[in-house]
Amino acid sequence: MKIRVLGAGAGGGFPQWNCNCHNCQRIWRNEMNGVKRTQSSIAVSTNNKDWLLFNTSPDILAQIQAFPAIQPKNGVRDTGIKAIMLIDSQIDHSTGMLMLREGKPLDVYCTEMVKQDLSSGFPIFKMLEDYCTVNHHPIPCDGSGFTIPGIDDLRFYSHALKSKAPPYSPHRHDPHEGDNVGVIVEQISTGKKLYYSPGLGEIEPHVMQAMLDADCVMVDGTFWTDDEMCTQNISPKRAREIGHLPQSGEGGMIEVLNEVKNTRKILIHINNTNPILDEDSAERKTLDDVGIEVAYDGMEIDL
């Protein structure tokens, strides 16, 4: 299985276009040992030709331009993207579909709740009816498996996570099963497994089991501390309040991942305020010391 990180940043990317926080200020001025990141998305394949795209960020065009394997090669209109899976309906994970409107119908795999959000509060599915159109394929929330035509030798298992729908959702304050899912990607021929969940607010038993069973986990790396945006005077909202488990502190992602043995552990969806973006920071050294990697645009993993 081949995994390509198209974008490793959280909403807004890094640096964020209007931000002058400690990290963004230094990266704008080339005063920080770190790299820029577009908004979160990965692609998976087993043959390096046919790719499943997880999420479509607003940066999708730049991500395609940086990744030859999904660029057109045959015919007047062509792409290596055979299907799209949306793990939620957040703006930074779905807006990129508008950039793909010139092609054939988009085969989009997502839960019924995500479909509802993208047909109502943020009606991308309806907007695209006059362009390429969207073929919606429902995915389960109970961990049961399914395959995707054209994506050879891979089986997928999706399960519901405790999280919130986007702010624009009609049920923002009334969580439903399927607002956000984690996905296990299994290569049928080898049994190798990736667990992908860029938005994790709580480590439920089935989430922990998925991580323990995986050969590689790519999970929520949004914030270092729960009060990160508060202390930087960016927002009064805390990490857990908006559905992200911080890395540090009791019950944080570092503590969780320390229980996951013999598995490659990678943080993705990293907010511009997170000190781990500075490769010389004490926080980054903490991750290095416990064997946790930080995803970056263009990162490739072979399982």
Query: Residues 235-247: what's their mean pLDDT?
Result: 91
pLDDT tens-digit profile of 188-230? 999 999 999 999 999 999 999 999 999 999 999 999 999 999 9
Q: Residue 165 has what pLDDT? A: 84
Query: Residues 245-252: what's their mean pLDDT?
Result: 96
Q: Which residue has the higher pLDDT, 241 or 97?
A: 97
CA 68 → CA 62, 64, 95, 170, 298, distances in Å? 11, 7, 22, 39, 11
Query: Residues 88-112: what's their mean pLDDT?
Result: 95
Q: Residue 175 has what pLDDT? A: 85
15 cis-preceded (ω within 30 degrees of 0)? yes
The per-residue pLDDT of the chain, averaged, comes to 96
Q: Residue 164 has what pLDDT? A: 77
C-beta neighbour count of 265 within 10 angstroms: 22
pLDDT tens-digit profile of 135-170? 999 999 999 999 999 999 999 999 999 877 888 888
Query: Residues 94-98: what's their mean pLDDT?
Result: 97
Q: Give the integer Cα–Cα distance in Å for 84 and 93.
A: 11
Q: Give the integer Cα–Cα distance in Å for 37 and 15.
A: 7
Residue 85: pLDDT above 90?
yes
Q: Are 198 and 207 in contact (CB under 8 A)?
A: no
Of 167, 220, 235, 211, nearest to 40 (Cα)? 220
Stretch among 4-8, 65-69, 111-115, 236-240 having the lowest mean pLDDT? 236-240
Q: Are 166 and 88 in contact (CB under 8 A)?
A: yes
Return the DSSP state at 291: T
The dotted CATH code for 2-302 is 3.60.15.10
Q: Residue 170 has what pLDDT? A: 87
Q: Give the integer Cα–Cα distance in Å for 289 and 85.
A: 33
Query: Residues 54-83: what's their mean pLDDT?
Result: 95
Tokens 């993705």 label which residue?
A: 268
pLDDT tens-digit profile of 103-134? 899 999 999 999 999 999 999 999 999 999 99
Residue 284: pLDDT above 80?
yes
Query: Residues 175-197: what's their mean pLDDT?
Result: 96
Q: Residue 24 has what pLDDT? A: 97
Q: Residue 173 has what pLDDT? A: 81
Q: Residue 176 has what pLDDT? A: 86
Of 45, 54, 82, 30, nearest to 181 (Cα)? 54
Q: Residue 242 has what pLDDT? A: 86
Query: Residues 225-246: what's their mean pLDDT?
Result: 92
Q: Residue 174 has what pLDDT? A: 83
Q: Residue 41 has what pLDDT? A: 98
Q: Residue 103 has what pLDDT? A: 85
Beta strands in the chain (DSSP E): 2-7, 41-45, 51-54, 81-85, 106-110, 134-138, 142-146, 154-160, 181-187, 193-197, 216-220, 264-268, 292-294, 300-302
